[in-house]
Amino acid sequence: MDRRDFVKLGLAAGAATSGNRVLAATGNSAAKQLGTGGILDAGVWEQQQMMEAGKLTSHALTSQYLARIKTIDKSGPRLNAIIEINPEALKIALDMDRERKLKRVRGPLHGIPVLLKDNIATADRMSTTAGSLALAGVRAARDAHVTAQLRAAGAVIIGKTNLSEWANMRSTHSVSGWSGRGGLTLNPYSLDRNCSGSSSGSGAAIAAGLATLAVGTETDGSIVSPASICGLVGIKPTLGLVSRSGIIPIAHSQDTAGPMARSVADAALMLSAMTGIDPKDPITQESAGKVGDYRAALDKGGLKGMRIGVARNFFGQHAERDAVIEKALVDLKAQGAVLVDTEVPNVGKYSETETEVLLYEFKADLAAYLKEYAPNAPVSNMADVIAFNQQHRQQELPYFGQEYLEQAQAKGDLDTPAYKDALANNRRYARAEGIDQVMKEHKLDALVAPTDGPAWLTDFINGDHFTGGFSSPAAVAGYPHITVPAGYVHGLPVGLSFVGTAYSEASLIRMAYSYEQATLHRRAPLFPPSVSLAVR
Helices (H), 164-260: 200-207, 224-229
Q: Is residue 19 part of a domain?
A: no
Q: Which of 61, 92, 96 is nearest to 209 (CA)?
A: 61
Measure the CA angle with vertex 86, ends 81 and 89; round to 5°.
120
Which pLDDT belongs to residue 488? Answer: 98
Which pLDDT belongs to residue 13? Answer: 31
Q: Is residue 9 part of a domain?
A: no
Beta bridge partners of 499: 447, 481
Letter for the amino acid at 530? Answer: S
Query: How far is residue 249's CA from residue 245's CA, in Å, rounded to a whole number?
Result: 9
Which pLDDT belongs to residue 137? Answer: 97
The domain of 330 spans 38-519
Q: Is residue 71 part of a domain?
A: yes
Q: Are 100 and 110 in contact (CB under 8 A)?
A: yes
The pLDDT tens digits for 444-477 are 999 999 999 899 999 999 999 988 899 999 999 9
Tell me whether residue 344 is exposed, middle or buried, using C-beta atoms within 10 angstroms of its C-beta: 0 to 12, 13 to 18, 19 or more. buried
Q: Which of 419, 434, 415 is nearest to 358 (CA)?
A: 419
Q: Which of 118, 127, 367, 373 is nearest to 245 (CA)?
A: 373
Neighbours of 139 (CB within 10 A): 17
Q: Which of 247, 238, 242, 250 is nearest to 284 (CA)?
A: 242
Q: State the DSSP string of 320-349.
A: HHHHHHHHHHHHHHHTTPEEEEE--TTGGG
Letter for the amino acid at 60? Answer: A
Q: Is residue 524 part of a domain?
A: no
Q: Is residue 501 part of a domain?
A: yes
The pLDDT tens digits for 173-182 are 999 999 999 9
**Domain containing 96 — which CATH number?**
3.90.1300.10
Query: How far is residue 161's CA from residue 84's CA, in Å, rounded to a whole number?
Result: 7
Give residues with Cβ within 8 angstroms of 316, minimum separation 6.
322
Q: Which of 176, 124, 173 is nearest to 148 (CA)?
A: 124
Which pLDDT belongs to residue 109? Answer: 98
Q: Is residue 289 part of a domain?
A: yes
Q: Is residue 93 part of a domain?
A: yes
Beta strands 82-85 and 156-161 are: antiparallel
Which pLDDT belongs to residue 36? Answer: 52
The pLDDT tens digits for 276-315 are 999 999 999 999 999 988 999 999 999 999 999 999 999 9
List the end-to-end C-alpha distance of the chain, in Å, as a whole number: 43
pTM for the full predicted model: 0.93
Query: How far is residue 168's CA from residue 226's CA, in Å, rounded to a whole number?
Result: 12
Q: Is residue 529 part of a domain?
A: no
Neighbours of 273 (CB within 10 A): 24
Neighbours of 388 (CB within 10 A): 17
Q: How many distinct structural domains can be found in the chain?
A: 1
Peptide bond into 351 cis (omega under 30): no
Reduced to 3 states (helix: H, G, I; strand: E, B; else coil), residue 406 is: helix
Beta bridge partners of 481: 236, 499
Burial 494-512 (b: 16+ CB within 10 A, else e): bbbbbbbbbbbbbbbbbbb
Q: State the DSSP string of 217-238.
A: EESSSTTHHHHHHTT-EEEEPP
Q: Are 237 and 291 in contact (CB under 8 A)?
A: no
Query: How far is residue 336's CA from residue 338's CA, in Å, rounded to a whole number?
Result: 7
**Which amino acids are annotated catalytic?**
117, 198, 222
Give residues with Cβ within 8 angstroms of 413, minimum separation 6.
360, 364
Below-70 pLDDT ranges, the chain: 1-37, 535-536
